Chains A and B, each alone.
Chain A
């Protein structure tokens, strides 16, 4: 059951924030969201676009005109009036129809990188750069992966020097917490001054 935390009065002010967790298949999105919050699947049913038809095997399903996408959905309650909603999003370009919606009004994003398949997170990095949505790159330290310095990863991803790049263990709540803190610090530090700026920002006040 997931009601917005309430002290009994529906009028009490809550601020809700959306944070996206992106990255390639198997980069640890589900693990990360699950480490810090109760995680539940969130299904969407979307029309098949020509872009996705190239990827989906439609043999024998010629009448299928929609596809189901499952996201990982987690919620972190902070104190009595702040709630962070985490959305683990499929990292492939074919799901961009969903990303636009997710990114709208989002506080920022975490791009999970797996150094064994670094190129998997290119589309996510490109997307957030284009949307000008603040993001951090979190390098998930898999036990059997060679450790790279975050600076090496930054160079490999050709990241703006201002984008934080951190090592993390997506299984550890403390580590995931630090990733989120880094993201919020980044958002705070790069907040446009005197802003009628239209960058996507947190969205809901209850």
Chain B
């Protein structure tokens, strides 16, 4: 068995390295790390998106974001690693193609009423 055989099983990793689709970039262009359940949606600003120059992965994400969707959903639906999705989403945000919907502050308490609503909903499931 030659040394090369070590690379012939799943341990050798994906055929395309995950960050190849980002051109090797591992950090979002705007430096902002989106929360897993941050919600993104296409803007359709300026009358329809011009998709020239977008990679297939960018386009796939644009399609998924036609309705409001979380970052985690985008990663699960594309099968791309979370870090890759964040880089691609930042590209699209910077180009004004998608926007991140406003969030309540993460350190803010949920109201008792909201929690009761969750409880009520869970019980009714």
Residues of A bordering B, CB below 8 Å? 1-4, 6, 10, 14-18, 36, 40-46, 60-61, 64, 66, 68, 73, 75-76, 78-79, 82, 84-85, 87, 101-102, 104-105, 107, 173, 177, 180-181, 184-185, 187-188, 191-192, 195, 197-206
Contacts and interface: CB of A to CB of B under 8 A. Distances in A.
Interface string B56-95: 0000000010011110110111011111100000000000
Given A45-B81, A105-B106, A206-B39, A10 B69 contact: no
B104 A2 contact: no
A104 B83 contact: no
B75 A43 contact: yes
B118 A84 contact: yes
B6 to A, nearest CB: 4
Nearest to A104: B106
B125 A78 contact: yes
Contacts of A180: 122
A102 B109 contact: no
Given A60-B6, A84-B118, A201 B36 contact: no
Interface in B27-49: 33, 35-39, 41
Question: Which range contains the number of B residues in contact with the other chain?
Answer: 35 or more
A3 B67 contact: yes
B118 A184 contact: yes
Contacts of A60: 3, 6-7
B23 interface: no
A191 B115 contact: yes
Interface of B: 3, 6-7, 11-13, 18-19, 33, 35-39, 41, 64, 67-70, 72-73, 75-77, 79-84, 101-104, 106-110, 112, 114-119, 121-123, 125
A80 to B, nearest CB: 10
Q: Which 7 residue pairs of A and B lie closest in terms of their CB atoms, listed nearest first?
A: A78-B121, A105-B106, A45-B81, A3-B67, A2-B73, A40-B76, A60-B6
Contacts of A173: 125
A195 B109 contact: yes
Contacts of B84: 45
A36 B125 CA distance: 10
